[in-house]
Structure 1
Amino acid sequence: MSQSTNQAASSSFASLQLKPDLLANLETMNFTQMTQIQAESLPAILSGKDVIAQAKTGSGKTAAFGLGLLNKLNVKRFRIQTIVLCPTRELADQVAKEIRTLARGTHNVKVLTLCGGVPMGPQIGSLEHGAHIIVGTPGRIVDHLDSGRLNLNNVNMLVLDEADRMLEMGFQDHLDHIIAQMPQHRQTLLFSATYPEQIQTIAEQIMVKPTMVKVETTHDDVTIEQQFFEMQDGQNRIEALELLLLDKQPSSAVVFCNTKRETQKVADSLADKGFSVLALHGDLEQRDRDKMLLQFANKSARILVATDVAARGLDIDELDAVFNYQIAYDTEVHIHRIGRTGRAGSTGVAYTFYNLEEMYKITAIEDAMKLEVSPKALPDMSVLTKQPLQAEMVTIQIDGGKKHKLRPGDIVGCLTNGKEIAGNQIGKIKVTDIRSYVAVPQALAKTALNKITKGRLKNRTFRAWFV
């Protein structure tokens, strides 16, 4: 197991044997010091070793393998040289975006995303034009392999990102199929938040003398406060959740459930009680999942009820609270869940419900996190007189995107034409190939929609509606 170092010199990107264009780009991004996972894994990755790295989301793991694969890449050789496999499209999109950012200083690097839930046609066209790096989900990559559109003969690096979730989601057969199609002589990197036995088994099968790196998944007690609530026999968890939400009034919160069915049930119950809530789970169409994530990220909903798998790839900077409606099956997953709040130095609270039958899980959490759990009392029923907080923003979908030459600046210009809406009132904007999304304050929603549908973007009108 690698040991971390406190010496700033050895945690500087400049201390690594990175290509000059990568180092220069890191400087423009103001990336000078490595995170712990980067400092411990990058030297082994850059020396060509197989690496197993255990670290939570938000630790900087994408930059660790991203820099490794870009440093190894031969840009002049226009062949697929790297495959990065992710459990969900959301995560794959995020990873591809970060690799492209890290590659900005290197000319002509082509990164292609191959994920399910989107039409096959554009992907087939992109594959015909070739790529250096493929980032995708196992199912869609198998589809392209089986139809003969994807050739992995030149792959010299395989990255399995969030390998634990891919195995949980039943991708073992797909992984085996993909790996069988690529050269045995390659470098393999395996990144995972948890390290179940299945990971060890797959590592033994596909890796050669891997270097193990583990960054402890502990969190600063100052930034994350944990509160536990023991549910008595027959006690209604949804009522307990409602009491806490009304009492604490978090501006943004994720409620974790263990099953898709429970996730939808909890979201429906909260919606019936007037809460601003969305559900995120595997039974939803990919397009709907994308919209849910977008709305939650741009503050068009206060509460997201989600399964662990669906919440991977959720990129929210400021999350006030996490609710463990059902306690996680695994201690590492619990730590991973609560780590979504209190990030980037902000404070956060994690509320966990459990019953007597789940005391063994509480004991495991106490041991792993070196804390003593004392159950707290729920807020008084009088808080039921409070009104749930409504979403700050509303999302407008515009029927046009990059293919129509639309840019975020065009949308801002249209909305700020006149004096009704100021530029600093406009929320997040996302422009995709054929759709665009903009978040606007609730009070200005109708005005904003009117400006877009009746105004002009790129000298033409576009249809638009509230998501």
Structure 2
Amino acid sequence: HLRKGTLKLDRVDTLVLDEADRMLDMGFYDDIAEIVATTPDSRQTLLFSATYPDEIKTISASMQRNPCRVSVAATHTKSRIEQVFYEIAGKDKRLGALITLLGHYSPASCVIFCNTRQQCQEIADALQARNYSVLALHGDLEQRERDQVLVQFSNRSCSILVATDVAARGLDIKDLEAVINYELSPDPEVHVHRIGRTGRAGKAGLALSLYTAAETYRVNAIEDYQESPVSVADIDSLHAGHKHVPEPPMVTLCIAGGRKNKVRPGDILGALTAGPGITGEQVGKIDIFDHQAYVAIERSIADQALEKLSAGKIKGRYFKARKLR
């Protein structure tokens, strides 16, 4: 619209850049910079970011004039989070150590943090090849793909989420059992954000971190930031056995109709529970988007629910439905 001249921003007096670090990770910087360049120099610019690395400082310098910085201290309750650090012999031992952690602790829900998009996808692929229930969340995903990943993890259709820090921004999963740092972040503040996703609402959490001897300085930085020593354990002392992460209790069904089709959660629930066979207790979280809807179903009746949705009507109409892997 800007290029066609159908949108003019010459009267903008306040510009808000929210989650600026996520903007960087998702690859939107050039587009945002092009938009900002069309606004008046006299505007007020507000920039918000959960972390403040050098890249964000560069954005601030290019888009703000004499900014006033306001910092808010993190409020995570460290005492409810059990942190354990494991030193590994080298980078080539990292994947094996991760599988040992998953086998030993066997969390029902777990977020694995990586430092790069490529690493994130490679780890997800490696775990999928070993039959783990896992999805990746990073900046290379399209919005529709990102929505599906978040829906499946939040409704318990997926056990493991492998994510980059910024792609997971705002992720708030109820009763998340564990966070695993596949590689320590160079920023101790980011580390605190990572582990703060477990141990919420007064519940206990588990944070497991892998590091090499060459990365010990990152452990020291975390200790300085937290003003307390960390617990270091021997990865070889763990017994992974043959346990895998438990199979997720739910399966997600995707319906080709959403908010634009006037579809509401109650309509989907009614379509599933009409007649015998499926009860309301077997239906989980329902998410409605503009053109799709997602419903979590107990794994044991997923095929039955899919058949019911495919053959029946929602709000008097037939909609295609499919089962997400």
Q: Normalized against structure 1, the TM-score is what?
A: 0.64
CA distance in 2, matches of 1:449, 1:302: 21
**Cα distance in structure 2, aligned partners of 1:345 and 1:145:** 48
Find the aligned partners of 1:374 and 1:315 in 2 and give their Cα distance: 26
CA contact under 8 A between 1:393 and 1:439: conserved in structure 2?
A: yes
Show the 5 A alignment for 1:9-408.
144-167=1-24, 171-217=28-74, 219-233=76-90, 236-378=93-235, 380=237, 382-408=239-265
CA deviation profile, 1:180-238 (whole Å, cap 9, x unmatched): 21123333211111223443444345445544321122521222221100011366222
Task: Check the 8 A contact 1:218/1:369 in 2, yes or no.
Answer: no
Instruction: Say if 1:198 and 1:458 are closer, same or farther in 2 by CA, change over 3 A.
Output: closer
CA distance in 1, matches of 2:80, 2:11: 46
Alpha-carbon distance in 2 for matches of 1:299, 1:379: 31
| Alpha-carbon shift at residue 453 of structure 1 (Å) | 1.4
C-alpha distance in 1, partners of 2:238/2:180?
19
Post-superposition Cα deviations, 1:223-265, rounded to whole Å, max 9, x if no partner, equal 2221100011366222211222122221211111122222222
Q: Do 2:87 and 2:211's aligned partners in 1 also have CA atoms closer than 8 Å?
A: yes
Flag structure 2 segments of 5+ consecutive residues without an equivalent.
Answer: none
Deviation at 1:429, TM superposition (A): 0.9
- Equivalent AA in structure 2 for residue 287 of structure 1: R
Q: How many residues align?
A: 324
Whose relative contact order is higher, 1 or 2, with alpha carbons under 8 Å and at least 6 apart?
2
**CA distances 1:114-147 after superposition (whole Å, capped 9, x unpaired):** xxxxxxxxxxxxxxxxxxxxxxxxxxxxxx3223
| Mapped contact 2:85–2:210 kept (Cα < 8 A) | yes
SS of the residue corresponding to residue 372 of structure 1 reads coil
C-alpha distance in structure 1 between counterparts of 2:53 and 2:62, whole Å: 15
Amino acid at match of 2:204: T
CA distance in 1 between counterparts of 2:321 and 2:286 reads: 14
Q: Hey, which bits of structure 1, 4+ residues long, moved more than 6 A?
A: none
Shift of 1:173: 4.1
User: How well do the aligned residues superpose, as a CA RMSD in angstroms?
Assistant: 2.3
What secondary structure does 2:232 align onto?
coil
Q: CA deviation at 1:425?
A: 2.3
Match of 2:274 in 1: 417
Secondary structure of 1:212's counterpart equals coil
3-state SS of 2:69 partner: strand
Q: Deviations over 1:148-191 (max 9, x none)?
A: 23221232221111223434556554443322211233332111
The residue type equivalent to 2:196 in the other structure is G
Structure-1 separation of matches of 2:279 and 2:162: 32
Measure the CA separation in 1 of the matches of 2:234 and 2:79.
Answer: 22
Q: Secondary structure at the match of 2:241?
A: helix
Query: Identity, % of aligned pairs?
Result: 50
